[in-house]
Amino acid sequence: MEKRERPEVGRRAEALAAEQLERAGLRILARNWRRAEGELDLVADDSGTCVFVEVRSRTGEERGHPLEAITARKRAQVIRTARVYLDAEAPRAAGYRFDVVAVTFWEDGRAPDVTHVPDAFQVG
């Protein structure tokens, strides 16, 4: 995949992730919420729980599964940005959690694999 194709793949993955989350009953509150500290791919409400969703995607398996891209550094950045979101937006929520949605696109035309991992990582 060429570098210029990555943003389009990321947008497609985020759209598929949002669709899957909505089918599971979550309500999308924000997409690509950005501040100097970082970006949150999706923010959703799950029956009163504020859910910060990191979306990772790959085309094929050559570079591994998308879940492998959730490094300690990435988790720390998402947590840092989530704190800024909570301060800035003050959502009415009983709690929060961090989910991951992994999307693998196949070049042979198969439907993408979409995997939702609720509560994928914790603060601390």
Find the helix or strand (DSSP H, E) in which 17 lies: helix 6-23
Q: What is the pLDDT of residues 8-18, one digit of tens each?
A: 889 999 999 99
Q: What is the mean pLDDT of the chain?
A: 93
> Residue by residue, what is the 3-state secondary structure of 43-105?
EEEECCEEEEEEEEEEECCCCCCHHHHCCHHHHHHHHHHHHHHHHHHCCCCCEEEEEEEEEEE
Q: How many CB atoms lie within 10 A of CB 120?
A: 18
- Answer whether residue 1 shows pLDDT above 90: no
Question: What is the model's pLDDT at position 61?
Answer: 84
pLDDT in tens, 44-101: 999 999 999 999 999 988 888 999 999 999 999 999 999 999 999 988 899 999 999 9
The pTM score is: 0.92
CATH topology of domain 3-121: Trna Endonuclease; Chain: A, domain 1 (3.40.1350)
Domain assignments of the chain as residue spans, ordered by start: 3-121
Per-residue pLDDT at 5:
65
pLDDT at 102 over 60: yes
pLDDT band at 123 (very low <50, low <70, confident <90, very high): confident
